Amino acid sequence: MRLLTLTGQICLLSTLAVSQRAFAAPNQREANTHNELLPYTFEPLPLGSIYPRGWLLDQLRVMADGLPGHEHDFYPIVKDSRWLSGQTDYSSLNEGLPYWFNGLVPLAYLTDDQRLKDQVRDVADYVLSHQQDDGWLGPEVNMSARNFWGRTPMLLGLNQLAEAEAGTELETRILDAMHRFVDLMYSMLSDNYTGLVKQSPVDVDDSWGRARAADTVLSLQWLYERDPTGQGQKLLDCMRMFYEKALDWEHWYTDGVYPKEDLDTLPLNFTDANLPFEHGVNVAQGWKSGAVFRRLTHDEGLAMSARRAVNWTSTYHGTSSGSVIADERLSGLSPVRGVELCTVVETMFSLSYLYHALGDNSLADQCELAAFNALPVMTLPDWSAHQYVAQTNQPISHKLDHSPFWNVREIGQTFGLEPNYPCCTVNHPQGYPKFVSAAFARQGQNGIAHALLGPMSVQTSTKSGAQVRIVCDTEYPFTQRLVYTVDADRPFHFSVRIPGWSNSPSVSVNGSPLRATAPDTQTGMLKVPLRQGSSEVIVTLSAEIQVHPRANDTVAIYYANLLYAIPMQYTQTSLPAQRYPNQPDNIGDYQLLPTSSWAYAIDPSSLRYNGFDGTPSNPLWTLGAPTSITATVCKIQWELKDGYAPNPPLKGNRRCQGEPFEIDLVPYGSAKLHMAELPVMD
């Protein structure tokens, strides 16, 4: 995510890519908003209903002990934030502390970590106690400095905190503060969209808030459905005004407008003018825009636009690990180009939301793909440091001689506290906590569904009132067996999502096979009727090795939803870096230098899956993962260029240097140095 240097370019918005809705008179859809929000396909559950188990709980505890759980202790953007009457942030948007808060609230409550709970409660208390007289939340006093985007992650964090603190005084304070803020928001938006649209050249840049307006509306929809308190129409009016002036993602994802080419090959007058639509984090957050506004407008065309957004981005600018290739700007399909950590976690959040809203099985599949591949590869196993961007083929992590990225520095793919812009430092903690929070959902009047698979438990009720507790014990995604222990005070329907890659699942209930094992063709949900009392449900998914073609005549290798890569052994050494008071010793900047070869071509016909072996280690995402795929490879002529692995040699230039031999591919997330898009042997 790039905040400090884009403002001049972002203001140049092309009429080719931006319809009248975004920048001129309100469009005709203004009259088509409704007084009821469309229901979710799968209704999200409040924070505190779902808890991680097994390796997921271990990961969240490692996060709490690592960089995510210690930023409040030493990192100036959090500890000395302007939101807390300090002096520090990295942009006039003042989004640093809100980003941190949005991820730390679920991390604190899902781990039941009292230290982190105290931190988020203290921050919430300060923010609420310092709400300005007119209702504004945040440090900005002058109207020209006020922007709604910088409030958005704070509001999303407060939404979650109110859920976790339901029935307490803190929940009441949060709801009251949000209603006061909405009163002000309504008056500002009614005054020529103040706070959303720039009123003068000296105002804060408005492109971020307009690109990400759907996230702001999420918090308003949450308040509308949880506690409208007589402000229902005002909340709907605010949503409508955000819709009127949001960037028009629906228009962007139309033929003749959306760039399906490598943006480096397009004219600068196009790419510069459309930068808000090309910016990787904007893209990831914008994926959900159509689905969010569909709930308001009831326009099914917006649902189709959201589906097209995910499909086209993934097809033309997607990475094999489930996220978006964008080293600040969309960057085609080259495995050299960067995948930003902020984009990864926002991709996961958007995809989980889209599955709840629209119910397409492929959306949940891709969310899991990003969660189990794109996210873990970008952090050290102890979560003490992270990358700003990862390369799909990255055999070395060090300061490059020359950056191949659009606007990321030479240190951007090293592991550190702040290896490029600081936004990812404060934003990345939301990844796994929000994944867990979205894992179960209500389905219909009498159902609970497991949407995002993994080891976790849920205690909740169906809409019809059945009290249900479900515990899922599994090593998924390293195995495909999920064991559920279910207790219910009356009959209900339990559903398990069957991923699209599993074509013949088996299910047993209390030891007896379930006869009907065909999942719903759209949602992937397999419904299991359960009686009152205790039940055991065992779901076994089927999987096989998959070989997917990628750019430059390469292949990506999968088993289930894990991407496999050739790993490099490495030595990890510290880099010189600024250190802050109270910074833990292990939190710093590091380079990873390979001690094994990486320049290989592969024979895809030789692949052999080696099943689950033992118990996952803790920390998990490190060399020695419990599954692997054996492949025949050979060394080829392929050398570093400017300090990184360039695009693979073309066909005809991949002749083996020596005899082929076998090597083990490992889960991509466990191989911090890796080659994942492999040339096929000549």
Say how far apart CA 37 and CA 292 lie, in whole Å.
Answer: 10
Among 194, 248, 246, 175, smallest CA distance to 216 is for: 246
Query: pLDDT tens digit string along 468-514?
Result: 999 999 999 999 999 999 999 999 999 999 999 999 999 999 999 99
Say how far apart CA 352 and CA 366 lie, in whole Å.
Answer: 9
How far does Cα 234 stand from its chain's mean position?
30
Where does the pLDDT of residue 9 fall: very low under 50, low under 70, confident under 90, or very high at 90 and above? very low
Mean of pLDDT values over 549-578: 97
pLDDT of residue 617: 84
Where does the pLDDT of residue 30 fall: very low under 50, low under 70, confident under 90, or very high at 90 and above? low
Residues 327 and 338: beta-carbon distance below 8 Å? yes
Query: Is the pLDDT reported for residue 22 higher than 50?
Result: no
Per the DSSP assignment, residues forming a β-bridge with 301 are: none
Among 147, 98, 150, smallest CA distance to 124 is for: 98
Per the DSSP assignment, residues forming a β-bridge with 662 are: 632
Query: pLDDT tens digit string along 45-104?
Result: 999 999 999 999 999 999 999 999 999 999 999 999 999 999 999 999 999 999 999 999
Mean of pLDDT values over 642-658: 97
Residues 535 and 509: beta-carbon distance below 8 Å? yes
pLDDT of residue 572: 98
Rounded (10°) angle between helices 341-358 and 289-297: 30
Mean of pLDDT values over 10-24: 33
Q: How buried is 298 (Cβ within 10 angstroms: 0-12 exposed, 13-18 middle, 19+ buried)?
A: middle
Among 669, 592, 590, 593, smallest CA distance to 418 is for: 590
Residues 451 and 365: beta-carbon distance below 8 Å? no
Mean of pLDDT values over 654-664: 98
Number of H helices, E strands in the chain: 22, 25
Mean of pLDDT values over 334-354: 99
Is the preceding omega at residue 477 within 30 degrees of 0, hence cis? yes
Top pLDDT among 152 and 21 is at 152
Say how far apart CA 653 and CA 495 lie, in whole Å.
Answer: 51
Query: Is the pLDDT reported for residue 29 higher than 50?
Result: no
Query: Is the pLDDT reported for residue 592 higher than 70?
Result: yes
Mean of pLDDT values over 274-303: 98
Retrieve residue 418's tokens: 């702040």
Domains of the chain: 66-245 (no CATH), 440-474+481-540 (2.60.420), 545-679 (no CATH)
CB count in 10 Å sphere of residue 515:
6
The residue behind tokens 């100036």 is 76
Among 326, 241, 199, smallest CA distance to 30 is for: 241
With residue 121 as reference, give the H or E element that holds it: helix 114-129
Residue 132 zone, left/alpha/beta (φ > 0; ψ -120 to 50; rest): beta
Mean of pLDDT values over 151-174: 99
Is the preceding omega at residue 505 within 30 degrees of 0, hence cis? no
Residues 44 and 438: beta-carbon distance below 8 Å? yes
Identity of residue 355: Y
CA distance to 27, 371, 441, per residue, from 46 (Å): 35, 21, 9
Where does the pLDDT of residue 32 fall: very low under 50, low under 70, confident under 90, or very high at 90 and above? low
Query: Is the pLDDT reported for residue 20 higher than 70?
Result: no
Query: pLDDT tens digit string along 63-72?
Result: 999 999 999 9
